[in-house]
Amino acid sequence: MTPSAPHALRADALTLAYDGRRVIEGLDLEIPDGRITAVVGPNASGKSTLLRGLARLMRPESGRVTLDDRDIRSFAPKEFARRVAVLPQQPVAPDGVLVAELVSRGRHPHRGWFGGRSSDDDRIVAEVLEATGTAGLAGRAVSELSGGQRQRVWIAMALAQRADIVLLDEPTSFLDVSHQLELLDLLTESNREHGTTVVMVLHELNLAARYADHLVVVDGGRIVAAGEPAAVMTAETVGAAFGLDCVVTPDPVAGSPMIVPIGRFHRG
Amino acid sequence: MSAAPVVVPAGPGEPVHVLSVRVAAARSRRHRRAATVVAVASLFALAAATASLLLGAAGLGVGDVLGVLVGQGSPKAEFVIMRLRLPRVLAAILAGTGLGLGGALFQTTLRNPLASPDILGVTGGASLAAVGSMLLLGLEGPAVSLAAFAGALVVAALMWGLAWRDGLTGIRFVLVGIGLASIVAGLLGWLITRAEVREASEALVWMVGGIAGIGWPELATAGVALVVLLGLTVAFSPRMPLLALSDDSARSLGLDSTRARATAIVLGVGLVAVATALAGPIAFVALVAAPIARALVGHGQAALAASAVVGAAIVLVADLVAQHAFTGFAVPVGIVTGLIGAPYLLWLIARGNRRGSDG
């Protein structure tokens, strides 16, 4: 496997809006290459919208997103998809589609106009099935799978794109704790082995602090803090962004900052 | 029918090259199954076409029919086959292919089994324009077909214009289409009530769809148009599996989903407009052909080729029934497909409601 080429994904004065309602305003952001970035923030903070903007799923109202100093809108769709893979929130598979078929669709950006597949396609699909632990499910219908299995299959599809940057919108939502960890381990493995740049929106702050090299806290459509988890995840930042009184203490397993919420009945 | 597992679960740590062979095997099995469905449905259609050529009041035998086909028939057999029965069979094939494939393109692209051109008023637009051109403008012959073609395009364009809002979302398109279908049906009823009885009975074929009395020039025109559209659909078809995913998924895989969806809809409208201009709005063929094809091929696939062949087979079989099942009189083929299709539509709606989803 060739290690990924260095890439610079960044947003400059990015403003994103739905029907004229601004969700992200004048945001600047640089995604560290070859690292894992987690985007966190309270509900309706604009974190998913930000990811959609980076993923070219939304046209900016103003400002721009660039990949290697080139506006991402100037890439041809397949050209962009070969560099950046995106896993949208709660994707839906058509009834009855098989795991192997769905994952094979990840190879689309590498195919020609008439959809001819190369001999590499089957090998790469097999590799990502193996890597995501879904090889045994290859012949099953996606709709028959459990939530955790299904999410791994979607990740396999995104990995089959063999893009250097992978963007994921809440990949762990609706998964129980053990499946959340399994999934984040899987992304970490892809990052460590292939140098894949991972950017994910996460709900669970402690997991974000543990798995991310770089943490971006979004609130009200702006970045309120960004940097290493140890520097960013302070009681002040969490209090300001999430309106949550908490104590931050080192995670006994990973040493990363761990948030312990206080609540109304346990104030000292 | 649920998809049978076609790959034996692999053991942990199975070598990737072995696994990739399994992936290829799973895919080729799906392809083989699709090819088998197309072959079987074609044989079925061929049998129905043969029966259609042989059966009838003229009392022709196999020898007579073969004689005509190789240019050695008696004048009477020549007339019956070349003027009456063969054009009818060919019309059934062309109309069924156009409707079946058009329906598959619509349903897959809009991700909704109800979203077929006959439910969304596209074929209704063809009816309205054809009947209007006959009753209000006094047109006849090819001019009426041309009006039908234009009518389908106009309804589709209206639907597009009304549903467009920063892109095209499936459910909005479907709701606008159902609204337009009601308006079209209302206008059609108004036209018929103010027409005389004789005119109204002539207009009937444009309301229910029929394939009697179609001449060679119309067949040739429709045939050429259909072949062109089939070619374009084949070229487009690699995009269909992505269009069946969500817009965001399709886009993140490098498909310009708005443009691809627009292309699929335009092709679907073209196919349905050609079929309807030839044979009128043969009811429910566009709605049922693709789901039958998908069930046979295995779900999760657009099953375009199978939908086209199943569409042709449905019209051929329905026409056999229409001509020979009712003693003493023949009915337009659209009445028979309507009798088959209406219960399916009810079932589809009832099932959708029970599951609390659109499909």
Q: What is the pLDDT of residue B356?
A: 39
Chain B partners within 8 Å of A86 (Cβ): 248, 251-252
**Any CB–CB contact under 8 A between B249 and chain A?**
yes
**Any CB–CB contact under 8 A between B357 and chain A?**
no
Helix (H) or strand (E) holding A182, with range, is: helix A177-194
Chain B partners within 8 Å of A140 (Cβ): 5
Q: What is the pLDDT of residue B10?
A: 45
pLDDT confidence bin for B167, thresholds 50/70/90: low
Lowest mean pLDDT among B93-97, B232-236, B245-249, B307-311: B245-249
Report if residue A3 sits inside a domain.
no
CB–CB contact A129 B23 (8 Å) = yes
Lowest mean pLDDT among A46-60, A113-127, B141-155, B320-334: A113-127
CB–CB contact B19 A88 (8 Å) = no
Q: Which residues are CB-neighbours of B57 under 8 A, at least 6 positions away?
A: none
The answer to whether the CB of A167 falls within 8 A of the CB of A216 is no
Residue B122 tokens read as 């596209």
Most confident of B30-34, B195-199, B224-228: B224-228
The answer to whether the CB of B230 falls within 8 A of the CB of B270 is no
Phi, psi of A163 (to 5 degrees): -90, 155
Whether this model's pTM surpasses 0.90: no
Report if residue A267 sits inside a domain.
no
**Any CB–CB contact under 8 A between B299 and chain A?**
yes
Whether the per-residue pLDDT at A1 is higher than 50: the answer is: no
Interface with chain A: mutation pick from B112, B248, B258, highest number of A CBs within 10 Å: B248
Q: Which residues are CB-neighbours of A90 under 8 A, at least 6 positions away?
A: A173, A174
CA-based radius of gyration for chain A: 19
CB–CB contact A100 B301 (8 Å) = no
For chain A, the average pLDDT equals: 89
For chain B, the average pLDDT equals: 84
CATH of range B77-355; options 3.40.50.300, 3.40.50.2020, 2.40.30.10, 1.10.3470.10: 1.10.3470.10
The A residues from 6 to 35 touching B (CB cutoff 8 Å) are 19
Report if residue A4 sits inside a domain.
no
Q: What is the pLDDT of residue B256?
A: 87
A148–chain B nearest CA distance, Å: 18
Mean pLDDT value of segment B209-228: 90
Q: Which residues are CB-neighbours of B355 under 8 A, at least 6 positions away?
A: none
**Any CB–CB contact under 8 A between A245 and chain B?**
no
The answer to whether the CB of B224 falls within 8 A of the CB of B354 is no
Report if residue A108 sits inside a domain.
yes
Q: Determine the Cα–Cα distance for residues A237 and B93; give it in Å rounded to an integer.
A: 69
State whether the Cα torsion B28-B30-B36-B41 is positive or negative.
Answer: negative
B102–chain A nearest CA distance, Å: 19
Interface predicted TM-score (ipTM): 0.85
B316–chain A nearest CA distance, Å: 30
Q: What is the pLDDT of residue B166?
A: 64
Percentage with pLDDT > 70 across chain A: 95
pLDDT digits (tens, 9 = 90+) for A112-146: 766 666 668 888 898 889 888 888 888 888 988 98
Count of structural domains, chain A:
1
A133–chain B nearest CA distance, Å: 8
Q: Which of B14, B21, B254 sits opposite A78 (nearest CB)?
A: B254
Alpha-helical regions (H) of chain B = 16-54, 62-69, 75-79, 86-110, 122-135, 142-163, 170-193, 197-208, 216-236, 240-243, 247-252, 257-279, 285-297, 304-324, 333-355
- For residue A222, the domain's CATH number is 3.40.50.300
Size of the A and B interface in Cβ pairs below 8 Å: 142
Q: What is the pLDDT of residue A199?
A: 96
| A68-84 burial code (b ≥16 CB/10 A, e <16) | eeeebeebebbebbbbb
pLDDT digits (tens, 9 = 90+) for A203-240: 889 999 999 999 999 999 999 999 999 999 999 998 98
> How many alpha carbons lie under 13 Å from residue B41 in its C-beta half-sphere?
30
Percentage with pLDDT > 90 across chain B: 34
Interface with chain B: mutation pick from A61, A75, A101, highest number of B CBs within 10 Å: A101
Lowest mean pLDDT among A127-131, B14-18, B147-151, B338-342: B14-18
CB–CB contact A91 B248 (8 Å) = yes
Whether the per-residue pLDDT at B79 is higher than 90: the answer is: no
Q: Could you tell me which residues are beta bridge partners of residue A38?
A: A200, A215
Whether the per-residue pLDDT at B355 is higher than 60: the answer is: no
**Any CB–CB contact under 8 A between B256 and chain A?**
yes
pLDDT confidence bin for A63, thresholds 50/70/90: very high
Instruction: Calculate the CA B91 to chain-centre distance.
Output: 13
The answer to whether the CB of B225 falls within 8 A of the CB of B274 is yes
Chain B partners within 8 Å of A91 (Cβ): 245-246, 248-249
pLDDT confidence bin for A268, thresholds 50/70/90: low
Q: What is the pLDDT of residue A209?
A: 93
Domain that holds residue A23: 9-261
Whether the per-residue pLDDT at B23 is higher than 90: the answer is: no
Lowest mean pLDDT among A110-124, A146-160, B176-190, B216-230: A110-124
Report if residue A266 sits inside a domain.
no
Mean pLDDT value of segment B243-261: 87
pLDDT confidence bin for B40, thresholds 50/70/90: very high
For tokens 């009184």, the residue is: A245
Q: What is the pLDDT of residue A118?
A: 67
- The identity of residue B53, as a single letter, is L
pLDDT digits (tens, 9 = 90+) for B119-135: 999 999 988 998 999 88
Whether the per-residue pLDDT at B4 is higher than 60: the answer is: no
Distances (CA, A) of A130 to A126, A127, A164, A166, B36: 6, 5, 19, 18, 31
CB–CB contact A85 B20 (8 Å) = no
Most confident of A94-108, A198-212, A252-266: A198-212
Whether the per-residue pLDDT at A29 is higher than 90: the answer is: yes
Q: Which of A101, A127, A135 sits opposite B27 (nearest CB)?
A: A101
Chain B partners within 8 Å of A95 (Cβ): 299-300, 359
Q: Determine the Cα–Cα distance for residues B64 and A183; give it in Å rounded to an integer.
A: 71
CB–CB contact A126 B20 (8 Å) = yes
pLDDT confidence bin for A73, thresholds 50/70/90: very high
Per the model's pLDDT, the better-predicted residue between B61 and A61 turns out to be A61
Q: Which of B19, B235, B239 sits opposite A130 (nearest CB)?
A: B19
